[in-house]
Amino acid sequence: MDKLEVMRLLTRIVERRSFSAAAGDLAVPRSTATEAIKQLEARLGVRLLDRTTRHVSPTLDGEAYYRRCVAILAEIEDAEGGFADRQPRGVLRIDVHGNMFRQLVLPRLPEFLTCYPEIGLRIGEGDRLVDLVREGVDCVVRAGLPAGNGMIARRLGELPEATAASPGYLARHGTPRSPDELAGHQMIGFLSSASGEVLPLEFTRDGQVQEVRLPGRLTVTGSDTSAALARLGYGLVQAPRYRFEADFRSGTLLEVLPDFPPSPTPVSALYPQSRQLSPRVRVFVDWLVQVFRSVPQQMARGTATAATGGADQKAKSY
């Protein structure tokens, strides 16, 4: 391995805390990775990594060398990406909400793959906040407002939400005409992945968001289950409109209080603040902005800002 390849290997080992994971990311045998780091340490005359059977961590010298390597590799990638005819290349590791990705992004993915034929995607699905550096992820797409976590958040857009219930449920409990008529109704509770608390229902009235907590026997952590329970008549449920469009068309669910919609859910792409943005992440995020801009009733043009403190609002697994 040449010096640049060894630098890439060392940075990946530090970030992944694993020789095996780093070797897998870079498609080299673990034995090759181990030998390359041994030769690097011998050449530098210092120990860069502390190794145990289960854990790898950088020494003080290793941490300093890692930071220099990150800066050098970022400069090289940026310099190569500055040429107009230079296509971004390599594997892009992303983590997304599976349902949101399948419904909104996947249908247009051929556009991206055709435009950038030298980029490969490794797609993970989840709804938790991932440690991007530790887990080797380049970019995360999440609904909600992320809490401060040392990452850059690029707003992709906002998803309009709706309140829904089954015809059978409304036949039993009545159809409310305003949030003031929700006494006696039930909701399907949605447990926030950030706070661990059940999220209230939201209704916008005269430009102000009103929160309403209703009783409910069932609480879930996944929106697929929530929508399924709503179809079975267990209560009111709120989620982005795209989830309910097919149900609204077929009549399996009816929209409730359409004149008092929930607040829209922001969607953001997040990537490490400590790194220079790579060309492949940059083009992917720019493309995502265009995708979410085309969602019906889409609002808010994306901007890049540092993710700061604050509650993870509407942190649902869409």
Domains detected in the chain: 3-81 (1.10.10.10), 90-158+265-306 (3.40.190.10), 161-256 (3.40.190.10)
DSSP 141-189: EEES-PPPSSEEEEEEEEE-EEEEE-HHHHHHH---SSGGG-TT--B-E
pLDDT of residue 97: 83
pLDDT per residue as tens, the chain (318 positions): 889 999 999 988 988 888 998 898 888 999 999 999 999 999 999 999 998 877 888 999 998 898 888 878 877 776 766 655 567 888 888 988 888 888 899 999 999 999 999 898 989 887 666 666 666 678 888 887 665 566 788 899 888 999 999 999 999 999 999 999 999 999 999 987 767 789 999 999 998 999 999 999 999 988 889 999 999 999 999 999 888 989 999 999 999 999 999 999 889 998 877 555 778 888 999 999 999 988 754 333 334 444 433 334 455 544
pLDDT score recorded for residue 139: 87
Q: What is the pTM of this model?
A: 0.68
User: At 195, is the secondary structure helix, strand, or coil?
Assistant: coil
Q: How far apart are CA 299 and CA 161, in angstroms?
A: 12
pLDDT tens, position by position, 97-119:
888 888 899 999 999 999 999 89
